[in-house]
Amino acid sequence: MSFTSYFRDRRGRQTVFQRPNLPLLAWAGFGAASSMALTPRYRTLLHRASQGSMMWWAAGETFRGRSPFRRTIGAATLMRSLRR
């Protein structure tokens, strides 16, 4: 495997940067909402929803990522999320 193939899918397209998918949009939305929450209870709830969304994204990339790079990033993020 060459260095550049690590960042490409089976069709040879570069896959480092892609449009955000639903789990990433949910992570950003819940994260922003948690920073603006007025009570600690809602802040905690929204923060946990944000973490869950990131784990959802990471699991998806780990098992269905288009390139070895994206699968590696997904696995590293999932392991980091599970350690917390």
pLDDT for position 25? 96
- Residue pLDDT tens, the chain, 84 long: 677 788 888 888 888 788 889 999 999 999 999 999 999 999 999 999 999 999 999 999 999 988 899 999 999 999 999 987
Sign of the dihedral defined by the CA atoms of residues 8, 12, 17, 20, in that order: negative
Q: How many residues does the chain have?
A: 84
Q: How far is residue 67's CA from residue 25's CA, in Å, rounded to a whole number?
A: 21
For residue 14, list its beta bridge partners: 8
pLDDT for position 15? 81
Predicted TM-score of the model (pTM): 0.86
Q: Contact at 8 Å (CB) between 58 and 38?
A: no
Q: Contact at 8 Å (CB) between 50 and 27?
A: yes
Looking up tokens 């922003």 gives: 32
Please, what is the end-to-end C-alpha distance for the chain in angstroms?
34
pLDDT for position 1? 64
